[in-house]
């Protein structure tokens, strides 16, 4: 009886181990979840912006509470920025992964072993908590469970939301099925992706100065109004606490927000 219980327990542990190995990451890179620290930080920033706008444009505590609605849109924009940074990080790490894969294939490794080998390289370059290290660890586990590498890469490409990774997965699928020169085809695809990333990096470098200028210009109207207000008290009193002033300041706030989003759209790549 004791031997049977022991055998059933070992089987249960073995099944759980296999289940854990086959569990996919299911990270969708078009989505982002704030950490507790990020949520508190961005919430505090959004509240601060609402307080600044209510003071500069309306000089009224009553206006502060309706303006808290800005917090929702601010968090939404911050989430978009985080998604963009996450994708940029994934893209950069994927570039290094491709270099490691090609080196492994040229050294005579099989495709599967090249992917397993590249995991150690990514851990050494970016750490075990990096995006590609986690993805390669999942690929490694799925390969141990005899899952098809083409399907694994296709799933990863869909979740990444990046055209470069989707193109790589498609080329890999075609090359694997056709039985052609897999290292050569992967090298050609990698060269195209590297060239594209290099061009985009140069564009980003050129635009970064404009982005910095935009961030300064966003604060200039507030700086001017606060400077005049503190250096010449009462100068803007006619614009506050009356219907005409509220209408004028609301129109100006609308113009400011329109200019803000237009500038952001212009300099976005």
CB 225 within 8 A of CB 236: yes
Q: What letters, b where the CB count within 10 A reaches 16 and e where it falls short, cover 93-111?
A: bbbbbbebbbebbeeebeb
Report the half-sphere exposure of 196 (CA within 13 A, side-chain side).
Answer: 14
**Residue-wise pLDDT tens digits, 51-84:** 999 999 998 888 899 999 899 999 999 999 899 8
CB 161 within 8 A of CB 29: yes
Q: Where do the H-state alpha helices sit in 127-181?
A: 131-144, 149-160, 163-178
Rounded Cα gap, residues 168 and 162, in angstroms: 10
Would you report the helix, strand and coil content of the chain in percent, each value rounded to 5? 85, 0, 15
- Mind listing the pLDDT tens digit of every residue in the chain (269 residues)? 444 434 443 444 333 333 333 334 467 898 898 999 999 999 999 999 999 999 999 988 888 999 998 999 999 999 998 998 999 899 889 988 888 888 888 888 888 888 888 888 899 999 988 999 999 999 988 888 888 888 899 999 999 989 888 988 888 888 777 766 777 777 787 788 888 888 888 888 888 878 888 888 888 888 888 888 888 888 888 888 889 989 999 999 999 999 888 888 887 75
The phi and psi torsions of 221 (rounded to 5 degrees) equal -55, -40
End-to-end CA distance of the chain, in Å?
Answer: 69
Residues in the chain: 269
């Amino acid at each position: 009886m004791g031997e049977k219980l022991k055998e059933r327990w070992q089987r249960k542990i073995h099944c759980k181990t296999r289940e854990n190995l086959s569990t996919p990451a299911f990270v969708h890179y078009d989505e982002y979840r704030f950490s507790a620290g990020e949520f508190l930080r961005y919430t505090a920033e959004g509240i601060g912006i609402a307080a600044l706008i209510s003071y500069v444009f309306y000089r009224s505590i009553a206006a502060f509470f309706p303006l808290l609605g800005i917090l929702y849109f601010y968090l939404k924009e911050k989430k978009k920025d985080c998604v963009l940074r996450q994708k940029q990080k994934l893209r950069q790490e994927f570039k290094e992964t491709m270099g490691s894969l090609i080196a492994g294939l040229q050294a005579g490794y099989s495709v599967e072993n090249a992917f397993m080998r590249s995991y150690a390289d990514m851990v050494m370059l970016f750490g075990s908590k990096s995006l590609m290290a986690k993805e390669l660890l999942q690929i490694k586990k799925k390969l141990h469970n005899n899952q098809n590498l083409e399907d694994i890469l296709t799933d990863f490409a869909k979740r990444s939301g990046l055209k470069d990774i989707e193109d790589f997965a498609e080329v890999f699928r075609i090359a694997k099925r056709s039985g052609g020169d897999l290292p050569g085809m992967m090298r050609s695809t990698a060269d195209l992706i590297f060239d594209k990333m290099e061009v985009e990096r140069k564009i980003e470098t050129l635009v970064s100065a404009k982005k910095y200028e935009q961030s300064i210009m966003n604060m200039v109207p507030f700086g001017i109004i606060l400077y005049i207000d503190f250096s010449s008290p009462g100068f803007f009193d006619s614009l506050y606490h009356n219907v005409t002033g509220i209408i004028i300041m609301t129109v100006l706030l609308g113009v400011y927000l329109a200019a803000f989003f237009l500038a952001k759209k212009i300099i976005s790549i």
